[in-house]
Chain A
Amino acid sequence: MEQSRITKKYDLFPRTLGQVLNRFGVEALDLTMTQGRWMHDAWGWPVDGYAAPPGFDVRAWLRTERRNATTLDKDWVGLTNALSGLFCGSLNFLDGTNIASPALAYKDRQGSSLLDVLRHGRLAREAVCTENLTPWGKLLPCSTKAGLAAALNGYRLFDADYHSIQTLVSITCASKDSACTQQLTQRVVAVFNPLRQSNKPEWSFTSLMDRPLNRPACALAASSTLHVTIPDLPAGAFQLHPADHAAVMINNKQVATYVYLRHHSLDPASATQSLRCVRLVFDHPPTTDFSVSRYLTDAGQERGILAVDLTNHRQVGDRTAQYTDVLPWFVRAYLHTVAYTCYPQGHATPADGLVEGVWFQHGIDRQRPTVMEVQVTVPASHLCTLRVEYELANLQYAEFRPDAERGFEVGSGLVTLFLNGTRPARLPTAIDPKASDVVRIHADAVQVQLPVPDFSMPYNVITFTCTVLAFYFGTMFSLTLSRAVSYRIDETTKKPVVVKIDELVWHKDE
């Protein structure tokens, strides 16, 4: 497999991951393992503008030069198997039936050339646990023995309201044909709730993570820094220890910076175990100026309507949004029912729907999912609803999961907002400059219940059905292949005993 354009230097980049990417011709990769949904209405915009959908989410940009569809399929299978071995997740279930190649989404996260093809698969049901965290930590240069990663405690991390472990590989090429370099970003995003965990309106690093910050920084790290955002409140409302810290402005917010030193722990050493903020005061809930809500309507297990509400809270200024959804094959969506209606907030009369384009790939049973991408305009102060009707398929006996009554997850949809220079307030600056003009919001995951047969019945069903069919067959054949024969009955005919008794009982001869 030729990868001559990508420089191979494995002093910082983990060799295990690099060789997997080289072997299967992967230029860029996003792998996120998430539990929970980022609640935009409670927490505002996610850190770095990047929130991951619940479950396991894999996006790979595969190089297409000198490869045809069959080779790409084989390489995808190899990639998912290798990643599932690497991260201990069931990524090998991402076969053809639940992967998609969206045409419109993720254009800003391309590989090195426009010819790269994106393959995207999601396992909405996977749970994240220590088995996933440990191999992720091993990819770091110092693994979890030194540095900030040493403070990651699985017990506390997985108790958070939202946690996401992300491995992002992106590629930059200096110019078109020159050598390219891949950058690996490993990120853990978590939302802790100190009130729930310790019942006290204060938090400290130890109370959150149950581990002291007493390991030295990683020797290979160029910089190792802790940023704590200072709330926008009068000085007496809170306290931050250690008090002497550098203060910088990041994203229009005051941020306290603590430098994590190499050979010994946080300076001053006496305060490492007590990086804490006393007296939590609740800021007014940070809001985003765009909210998304996804839900199912219509009752019953046969059909339904998938609806997505897009609300533009801005007073002035329309927003362009792209909605991408990958529905599993057993949720059969109808293209002719895609409808988009906008209502001014507080009013009931609909305005003109503003759909700029619909890209729809119908699903095929047991082969590929339905992919729907709609580009719409959401006018200012409007609530717009995108609706699509679907029918639910009936699965075969063996295709149901254990606990079939629970139903199946339909993974979250994705709303991509194009900012066009108008950034929402309080949106953090993304680290990746290419992604600065786009914000992604993952909508709620929903669950569908398919009609469930009785699993105790295979033998009984076959027996009953075949018995009824045999009855039908026998009746039809005996009545068509036999002839009516008549014989005269007069006084000399011998009557059967039963008929004689019958006549006696009912006095028929009288």
Chain B
Amino acid sequence: MSECGPAHAAPVPSSPPRPPTYRRLAAALTLGAAVRLVLQYVPAVAALRTAAQSSILTTTPLTRWSRLQEALYLYDRGLPLYDNALVHQPPLLLPLLSVIPASMHPLLLTIVDTAVAAGLATLARRQRELEPAAHAPIDADDDHAEPGPKIQGGGVAWTPAAVALAYLLNPLSILSCVAMDAGVIERGAMIAAAVFASGGDSIWASGAITVAFQMGFYPVALAPILALIQRRATQLSAFGVIPAVIISILMWNIIFYTFYTNVMELDGMAVLKATTGFVLSVPDLQPNLGIFWYLLTEVFDHFRGFFVMVFQLHPFVYLAPIIMRFGRETPIFCLTVYTGVLATLKAYPTVGDYALWLGLLPIYANTWKYFRYPFITANVAVYCAFLFPIMHALWTRFASGNANFFYALTLVLVLGATVLQADCLHAMHVRLHHAHAYAVDKMHAEVEESEEVGADQVVEGPGNGGGRG
């Protein structure tokens, strides 16, 4: 895509400037959707579909599509939905899915994934206005540059279309969509909540995050971050917005559960235990990308409760420092960092969670030049991408490896995620600091210049006014 090339030299004179990014965005979305539809419907790649839909890297017991199919089967026949160990998704998807024919379910997931990409593009665009601190100039070249994407000393900022394309062509997100992971819908709800919040729309943001909460529980921790985004969008005070968002989420939950108990005639406690209770108590120890499963397999029963409790409290601990440090000026950066925290530390992660985190990173592409360890991160990504499926197959299909091979890779993945998070945070620190230092220098220089000009008003020379550069 040409968004990284030099800007046009002269503007088009006569017609009113039509925003070009929508056309490029539409092209990016179409390309991403086409790739997914090809992989989902072409018979030649049916083996890839079958492998992805049952792989433990792309699906978990919480989100596997076969479990949703079981829930649909039970729902269509009026049988109890949660009287089993299989269904862990909330019932809100079922009325919609039972109306759409089964052959169109992959199309639905493609549409949701494309909407995620469009949401990322919207976030990227809105971030320009909401977070001026992240785009403040860091030196004089930056200051005098024309607005728009350009390769500059400060690092290139990607267009919204490029952000969308980066997510859509990320093999992790493609695999997640082809695998018919219900997490695609959960991530769609998360991004929708972020987009609504960045537009100042508190009610729909809470509604969307409630949907994501019911599907996976962890998105509820994004509530304060969404409140801060909304605060920057609407200039309200934080003390009012955070409680308002939390109360809205509670209200939406009450609405949903009333719908379940009265309209769908389910037992609310059974729904709660099967969905949120399942994620919180982690009874299913199927291997995945995370670090919970092996520890909970090996730990003695006596200590299991303690470890589960600590592991579930752990991701929430990171909210406070991230918000304290970055929440005021750059709440969308908080969202990016916290998405990474969730992908690494949640109970049942998939590659789709990492795809969402990697999809949010290009919004801050102008900080990438300050990364210290990109080589390590890239290497870890490649190692993990190749070795995870191999080690799992060695353990469960070929009986020649054992669980430790796969478990070691999960540790490597967490270490790689640590390095990438460290890079992101450090890069943002440095960029903010450089921008702040430049702003301070510029202010000092302007003060000096105005003093000089004031002092030598009658004498004007060519060398004065050179406080810059």
The reply on A242 being an interface residue by CB < 8 A is no
Assess whether B404 is in contact with A457, with CB atoms less than 8 Å apart. yes
Most chain B C-beta atoms within 10 Å of own C-beta, residue among A332, A477, A481, A484: A484
Which residues of B363-419 are within 8 A (CB) of A?
A: 395-397, 399, 402-404, 407, 411, 414-415, 417-418
Known: A365-B283, A453-B297, A479-B426. A464 touches B85 (CB 8 A): no
Stretch in contact with the other chain, from A81-89, A250-258, A391-399: A391-399
Q: Are A461 and B66 in contact, with the CB atoms below 8 A?
A: no
- The count of chain B contact residues (Cβ–Cβ below 8 Å) is 61
Whether, in the assembled complex, B107 has its beta carbon less than 8 Å from a beta carbon of chain A, the answer is no
Take A462-B295, A479-B425 as given contacts and tell me if A364 and B418 are in contact as well, using a CB distance cutoff of 8 Å. no
Check if A451 sits within 8 Å of B294, measured CB to CB: no
Q: Is B84 touching A362 in the complex (CB atoms < 8 A)?
A: yes
Proximity string of chain A (287-316) to chain B, C-beta cutoff 8 Å, 1 when within and 0 when not: 000000000000111110000000000000
Question: Within residues 55 to 80 of chain B, which ones have a CB less than 8 A from any CB in chain A?
Answer: 56, 66, 69-70, 72-74
Please, which residues of chain A bring their CB within 8 A of the CB of B402?
452-454
Q: Does B83 contact A (CB under 8 A)?
A: yes
Of all chain B residues, the one with the shortest Cβ separation from A302 is B396
Centre residue among B74, B287, B396 by max chain A CB count within 10 A: B396
Which of A268-276, A318-326, A466-474 sits within the interface?
A466-474
Which of A398, A465, A473, A477 has the most CB atoms of chain B within a 10 A radius of its CB? Answer: A465
**Cβ A453 vs Cβ B426 within 8 A:** no
Decide if A492 is an interface residue (CB 8 Å cutoff).
no
Bound form: Cα–Cα A464–B285 in Å: 18
Interface flags, B409-449, vs A, CB<8A=1, else 0: 00100110110011001100110110001000000000000
How many inter-chain residue pairs (CB < 8 Å) link A and B? Answer: 145
Instruction: Known A302-B54, A484-B429; judge A458-B299 contact (CB<8 A).
Output: yes
C-alpha gap A303/B291 in the complex (Å): 22
- Per-residue 0/1 for A477-501: is the Cβ within 8 Å of any B Cβ (1 yes, 0 no)? 1011101101000000000000000
Which residue from B287, B296, B399, B414 sits with its C-beta under 8 Å from A468? B414
Q: A289 CA to B85 CA in the complex, in Å? A: 39
Q: Does B301 contact A (CB under 8 A)?
A: yes
Residues of A within 8 A of B433 (CB): 484, 486
Nearest chain B CB to A482's CB is how many angstroms away? 8
From residue 331 to 368 of chain A, which have CB atoms closer than 8 A to chain B?
Answer: 332, 334-337, 362-365
- Asked whether, in the complex, the Cβ of B325 is within 8 Å of the Cβ of A362, the reply is no
In the complex where A336-B69, A451-B403 touch, is A397 in contact with B299 (Cβ < 8 A)?
yes
CA distance in complex: A244, B312 (Å): 83
User: By the criterion CB–CB under 8 Å, are A451 and B85 in contact?
Assistant: no
With A397-B299, A476-B321 known as contacts, the answer to whether A461 contacts B83 (CB < 8 A) is no
Evaluate contact between B397 and A299: CB separation under 8 angstroms.
Answer: yes
**Bound-complex Cα distance A472 to B404 (A):** 21
Given known pairs A334-B86, A398-B300, A481-B321, the reply for A393 and B284 (CB within 8 Å) is yes
Does B318 sit at the interface, judged by CB under 8 A?
A: yes
Q: Is the CB of A461 within 8 A of B295?
A: yes
* C-alpha gap A396/B292 in the complex (Å): 13
Q: Which of the residues A336, A394, A468, A486 comes within 8 Å of B73, measured between beta carbons?
A: A336
A363, B317: Cα distance in complex, Å:
36
Chain A residues bordering chain B, tally (CB within 8 A)? 45
Residue A475 interfacial (CB < 8 Å) = yes
* Cα A452 to Cα B401 with chains together (Å): 11
Rounded to whole angstroms, the CA-CA distance of A395 and B84 in the bound complex is 17
Q: Which residues of A contact B256 (CB under 8 A)?
A: none
Tell me if A302 and B84 are in contact (CB < 8 A).
no
Q: Bound complex: CA of A363 vs CA of B324, how far in Å?
A: 47
> Given that A397-B300, A461-B407, A480-B425 are contacting pairs, would A362 and B83 also be in contact in the complex, using a CB cutoff of 8 Å?
yes
- The answer to whether residues A332 and B86 also contact, given A476-B421, A484-B430 and a CB cut-off of 8 A, is yes
Q: Is the CB of B85 within 8 A of A465?
A: no
Kindly list chain B residues whose C-beta atoms are within 8 Å of the C-beta of A334: 66, 69-70, 86
Q: Does A260 contact B (CB under 8 A)?
A: no
The answer to whether A301 and B396 have CB atoms under 8 Å apart is: yes
Q: Is the pair A300, B396 in contact by a Cβ cutoff of 8 Å?
A: yes
- Is B464 engaged at the interface, CB distance under 8 Å to the other chain? no
Contacts of B296 in A (CB 8 A): 396
Residues on A with C-beta less than 8 A from B318 are 476, 480
Residues of B contacting A476 with CB < 8 Å? 318, 321-322, 341, 418, 421-422, 425
A-facing residues in B287-327 (Cβ within 8 Å) = 287, 291, 293-301, 307, 314, 317-318, 321-322, 324-326
Give the docked Cα–Cα distance between A332 and B61 (Å). 12
Known: A300-B396, A471-B418. A397 touches B298 (CB 8 A): yes
- Contact flag A364-B429 (CB < 8 Å), given A393-B284, A394-B293: no
Report how far A475 CA is from B284 CA in the complex, Å.
30
Counting CB contacts under 8 A, is A329 at the interface?
Answer: yes
Would B321 and A477 count as touching, CB distance under 8 A?
yes
The interface residues of chain B lying within 8 Å CB-to-CB of A299 are: 397
A423-453 near B? 1/0 per residue, CB < 8 Å: 0000000000000000000000000000111
In the bound complex, what is the Cα–Cα distance between A471 and B417 (angstroms)? 11
Contact of B237 with A by CB under 8 A:
no
Question: B294 contacts which chain A residues (CB < 8 A)?
Answer: 453, 461, 465
Interchain nearest-CB distance for A391 vs B (Å): 8
Chain B residues positioned under 8 Å from A462 (CB to CB): 295, 298-299, 307
List residues of chain B with CB within 8 A of the CB of A469: 291, 314, 345, 414
Whether the pair A398, B422 counts as a contact (CB closer than 8 A) is no
Complexed CA–CA distance, A299 and B84 (Å): 25
Provide the bound-state CA to CA distance between A336 and B414, in Å. 37
Is B450's beta carbon under 8 Å from chain A? no
- B430 in contact with A454 (CB, 8 Å): no
Partner of A480, one of B70, B86, B325: B325
Residues of the A chain whose Cβ atoms lie less than 8 Å from the Cβ of B297: 394-397, 453
How far is it, in angstroms, between the C-alpha of A29 and the C-alpha of B225 when the chains are bound?
A: 64
CA distance A490 to B285 in the complex (A): 58
Residue of A nearest to B323 (CB): A480
Q: How far is the CA of A395 from the CA of B82 in the complex (A)?
A: 21
A479 and B333 alpha carbons, distance in the complex (Å): 14
B30 contacts the other chain (CB 8 A)? no
Q: Is B202 an interface residue (CB 8 A)?
A: no
Flag if A303 contacts B85 (CB, 8 Å).
no
* Cβ-defined contact, B298 with A335, below 8 A: no
Residues in B whose Cβ lies below 8 Å from that of A453: 294, 297-298, 402-403
A413 to B396, CA, bound (A): 26
Once A302-B396, A458-B299, A479-B425 are accepted as A-B contacts, the answer to whether A363 and B84 lie under 8 Å apart by CB is yes
Tell me the nearest residue of chain B to A405, going by C-beta.
Answer: B399
Q: What would be 10 A-B contacts, judged by CB atoms less than 8 Å apart?
A: A299-B397, A301-B396, A365-B283, A397-B300, A398-B301, A451-B395, A454-B404, A472-B418, A475-B421, A480-B425
Nearest first, the 3 A-B pairs at minimum CB distance are: A362-B84, A336-B73, A480-B321
